[in-house]
Amino acid sequence: MVSKEEFKREVWKFAEDINAKPEQIRLRDMKLKKGSCSRKKIITFDKSLLNMDPSLRREAIIHELLHLRYRHHGKLFKAVLKTYLNEEVP
Ligand SMILES: [Zn+2]
């Protein structure tokens, strides 16, 4: 389990890694989704991510961060996501 602060630090770090620039990172209970990305570049994550396996958490974070670049789950989104997920974290 990570704290909210640790989680947010992790998100900002990944954002830097993939050159994404969210306006704000939020955490709340979302129930149905793991995360969302608004048109105002505010990314909200479900609190359940705090208890999640680090690799799954990373996947969910990078997924939402990529929505800053691609709104939908198109071919390009999926290809880029796959590339980032297969990259080793430096
Ligand atoms: Zn998505």
3-state secondary structure 6-49: HHHHHHHHHHHHCCCCCCEEEEECCCCCCEEECCCCEEEEEHHH
Q: Domain containing 57 — which CATH number?
A: 3.30.2010.10
**Interval between CA 69 and ligand 1 midpoint (Å):** 11
Q: Number of structural domains, the chain?
A: 1
What's the average model confidence in pLDDT over 29-49?
95
**Interval between CA 56 and ligand 1 midpoint (Å):** 14
CA 85 vs. chain centroid, Å, equals 11
Q: What integer pLDDT is reported at residue 87 of this predicted model? A: 75
Q: Is the pTM of this model over 0.85?
A: yes
**Interval between CA 37 and ligand 1 midpoint (Å):** 8
Strand partners, 27: 45
Structural domain of 24: 4-86
**Interval between CA 66 and ligand 1 midpoint (Å):** 8
pLDDT surpassing 60 at residue 78: yes
- Written as six digits, the tokens of 34 are 């793991």
| CA neighbor of 35 nearest in space, from 26, 27, 44 | 44
**Interval between CA 34 and ligand 1 midpoint (Å):** 9
